[in-house]
Amino acid sequence: MMKISFPWFGEEDSITIDHLNYLRGLRGVSLTLGSVPAGELVRPELVSDLKEKIWACGYSFEVLEDLPVHRDIRLRAGDFERYIENYKENISSLSMAGVRVISYGFEPDPDDAFKELGRDGLWKNLELFVREIIPVALRKGVNMAFRFGRAGEKGLEMPKLINGEEDIDRFLSIHGDQRHGIAMSCAGLGASGFNSYLGMIGKYGAMGRIHYALLRDVKARDDDSFQEAEHCSPCDTRDMTKIMTAYYEAGYDGYARFDHSRMTSVCSRMTSVCGPGFDLYDRTVGTMFVTGILLTLDSRIKAMPKEKIA
């Protein structure tokens, strides 16, 4: 079955390691290292310390959430060569700590100036970056999960790399190995075109290219934007039960975590403050919500013919 993990921001998190002792039934922790600047090396002693604390709670540490790509790499300017080498070294050192999935993105920041680079230029730089890091991931046994930007964002006149299935196919064609994969997000892809989203779960899940599932309750608006929804399928216009069923039927046995809730996230990695949407209540309730759906699906699908499952 899908491996449900708990999102944790390390020592800077408002949730302490002691809180994790109260959670059971999870595969492990999805760790975010907000204190490590983009492009810099991750200190091995930091990872070792956090790993020991996570293991002491009875959890595995196999997923690193968001290993950021430095702006110079996206622009292919400045000190990008050093930052790429650092990125490759980070993949190697994290693999030695037991990390099996690393998620990352390549979307422009709001303050980036891409008027000259354009969407085509950004795609070219992404392709060059992928061709540099995937060979390292192959040698080290790490799955790289590309994370898409949000759907429905307004006021950002920036090039969007991934706008749908055609772009995902283009991205995956950069490298043929399965370790070159994606993180499927209910917000990044599922806020609009829901039926297409369910189809993509089936398609890319069968291909073995989904390495990380970002589960999130959202209420879609008519303009394809969205807002957070309560942890309850009738309140979620995208129906978490159908999403979990699609993953199950695709045979997805990779990692997943529940994203923040109806309370808008004000988590600031710059200030290391995690506010509403990422507190203990929201993360715990959401995590247990999808875990319950998954266990129920497993029980029903084992007991009933597939065509009879609603």
Place of tokens 């449900």: 4
Does 130 score more than 90 pLDDT? yes
- Calculate mean pLDDT across residues 126-139: 96
Residue type, 176: G
Per-residue confidence (pLDDT) for residue 267, from 0 to 100 = 41
Mean pLDDT, rounded, of the chain? 78
**3-308 CATH choice from 3.60.150.10, 3.50.50.60, 3.40.1280.10, 3.20.20.150:** 3.20.20.150
More confident residue, 155 or 68: 68
- Calculate mean pLDDT across residues 262-282: 47
Per-residue confidence (pLDDT) for residue 101, from 0 to 100 = 95
Does 264 score more than 50 pLDDT? no
Does 83 score more than 90 pLDDT? yes
Q: What is the CA radius of gyration of the chain?
A: 19
Does 174 score more than 90 pLDDT? yes
Give 190-239 pLDDT, tens digit per residue: 555 655 888 899 999 999 999 999 887 666 655 555 556 555 555 555 67
Does 265 score more than 50 pLDDT? no
Per-residue confidence (pLDDT) for residue 48, from 0 to 100 = 87
More confident residue, 28 or 74: 74
Q: What sign has the CA pseudo-torsion 203, 223, 233, 187? A: positive
More confident residue, 281 or 62: 62
Per-residue confidence (pLDDT) for residue 153, from 0 to 100 = 41
For residue 205, the surrounding DSSP H or E stretch is: helix 194-206
* Those residues with Cβ within 8 angstroms of residue 100's Cβ, 6 or more apart along the chain or in another chain: 62, 63, 141, 142, 143
Per-residue confidence (pLDDT) for residue 273, from 0 to 100 = 42
Give 15-69 pLDDT, tens digit per residue: 777 777 776 667 788 888 877 888 899 988 888 888 888 888 888 889 998 899 9
DSSP annotation of 254? S
pTM above 0.85, yes or no: no
Per-residue confidence (pLDDT) for residue 272, from 0 to 100 = 39
- Name the burial class of residue 45, with classes exposed (0-12), middle (13-18) and buried (19+) by CB atoms within 10 angstroms of its CB: exposed
What distance in Å separates the CA atoms of residue 128 and residue 142, rounded to the nearest whole number?
A: 19
Per-residue confidence (pLDDT) for residue 27, from 0 to 100 = 75
- Calculate mean pLDDT across residues 77-90: 95
For the chain, percent of residues with pLDDT exceeding 70 = 71
User: Among 136, 213, 127, which residue's Cα sits nearest to residue 172?
Assistant: 127
* 183: β partners: 147, 212
